[in-house]
Amino acid sequence: MENYRSTIRRIFQILPIIGFSLFFILAIYAYRHGIFQSTDSLQVFIQQFGQYAVLIFILLQIIQVIIPILPGGISSVVGMLMFSTGWGLVYSYIGLVIGEALGFLLVRYYGVNFVQLILSPKKYQKFDQLLTAHTQNIRRFLIWTLILPFAPDDLVCLVAGLTKMSFREYMRIILILKPWSVGIYGLMMLYLFRKAQGL
């Protein structure tokens, strides 16, 4: 009986990893074929999943936090164009919060090696500078990066994973301030997109 339970636990531990890996491969394939280069191509890509389009969009947002495969803001704009402004922001919030939680836990577990794996040398240098400068005041710095649009909040979330900040405190800040961050950033990007399109 104990062996059976142990096997079930292992299966439940492995399944999310397999799912995440398969989706990551799909995301890399899409990236290499230029699907993420414009809002139109990204919408077509997501729409082909039919009733699962919302789930795919949320998964993209999760991946985007940990591995930035999309040009800045394009995913939020696509979400609002596809699902309406309100629901697009809600789905973005869900995906980004899950992504921020996973990013924090992965960095806490795997340390700097994980950060070096997912960031380009240029972004890692910026990450290292933030870590050096803000380890002691990470709580205040995280709050400010979530309040200010276009601040590097994803990088700061990775930095937080290497500090003494507890996961509970981290998630409390994320859950409270991320709606503001997602809303302001998303609406600004949508406005700029429509301006560029002459709408």
Q: Where are the domains of the chain?
A: 34-197
Check if the beta carbon of residue 70 is closer than 8 Å to that of residue 64: yes
Distance CA 125, CA 132 (A): 11
pLDDT at 106: 85
Max mean pLDDT range (44-53, 120-129, 166-175): 166-175
Q: How far is CA 66 from the centre of its chain?
A: 5
Does the pTM surpass 0.95? The reply is no
Tens digit of each residue's pLDDT (9 = 90 or more) over 3-58: 655 665 565 456 556 655 666 676 666 666 666 666 777 788 888 888 899 998 99
Tens digit of each residue's pLDDT (9 = 90 or more) over 148-165: 877 777 888 888 888 888
pLDDT at 33: 61
Secondary structure element (H or E) that encloses residue 38, with its range: none
Distance CA 86, CA 34 (A): 27
Among residues 32, 33, 42, 34, which one has the least CA distance to residue 193?
Answer: 42
